[in-house]
Amino acid sequence: MYDVFLSYLSRDSSYPTAAIEILLGRQLQPESIFRNRDIGPGIDWRRPTFQQALQQAAVVVMIIGPSWQELVSPHRDSGSSWAEREISAALNAGIPVLPVLLDDAYFEPLQLSPKLHTLSGRQYVRVRQQSFPEDVSGLAEMLRRLAPDRLPLPRPQPEPVRTAEEAALDVPSYSDSDIRRRGIDPGQSLIRLADELGRVQYPAFQFDQTGRPIEVVVRINSLLGAYDDPWGVVDWWLAPNIWLGAAPVDLLGEPDEETLVAAANAVSRRD
């Protein structure tokens, strides 16, 4: 079943319509969009596939390019009269018709066949070349509002679950070269993390504003065994602590830092 029927004139907007179909398909469902590709001289626009797609549509989108108004003009003897029948059939069936004007295209229904006069004053969407992706996104949103039952909002994608290691690697850190430049010997008392590419970093919460290691952090790191288990120790610092009522890293600089040491001691004794 097609939800969106793209009505256009190949002599007016063949390539823009194809691009609109592609971008709409990414935001809706590609299989829900009908764009006829092969109506030409001698081909009956009422053939079953075409007619069924039109009757099933939740919304008909009129793609109006720079020549559309002239091609559909009642004073012009052209092969575009089927476009009038197409839109008229949608209107008679009570299917919402949404005009989409390309760039500076002109659209005045009252200058067309009386069958199309009901389109006068109807809200339209303008799609411009310089803002094409954004404008087509706006078109998709308009289509969802016109047919919410058939074109529901996309389900929000859940945020990917991050591991403790990924979270630790995202905290502000110093590199190996930063540590050497400061003349700091990390020894066995600083948390030293390496990513999957082997790049080494030292979480910045271990250092004061002058770039020197914080004494209480060094004590706790040594107590918890940061040299042997850097990932476990950084997780202790960053994860909420039930006993402390906060993540230990958030309590650095508080007057009673000995509470942090006591919490670390409790963990080390348990281990």
* pLDDT tens figures, 195-238: 888 889 999 999 998 888 999 999 999 999 999 999 999 999 99
- Which secondary-structure segment (H or E) carries 202? strand 200-203
Number of other residues whose CB lies within 10 A of the CB of residue 92: 9
Is pLDDT above 70 for 58? yes
Number of other residues whose CB lies within 10 A of the CB of residue 226: 26
Confidence of residue 16 (pLDDT cuts 50, 70, 90): very high
pLDDT of residue 156: 67
Torsion of CA 129, 134, 139, 142, to 10 degrees: -150
Backbone angles phi, psi at 93, to 5 degrees: -85, 0
Parse the chain into domains and list their residue ranges. 4-146, 164-270
Token output for 122 = 């109807």
Best CA proximity match to 137, nearest among 123, 59, 128, 158? 128
Tell the CATH topology of 4-146. Rossmann fold (3.40.50)
How far the first Cα of the chain sits from its last, in Å, is 62
Number of other residues whose CB lies within 10 A of the CB of residue 82: 15
Place of tokens 């006993």: 243
For 4, the 3-state DSSP assignment is strand
- Which secondary-structure segment (H or E) carries 222? helix 215-224
Is pLDDT above 90 for 85? no
Confidence of residue 39 (pLDDT cuts 50, 70, 90): low
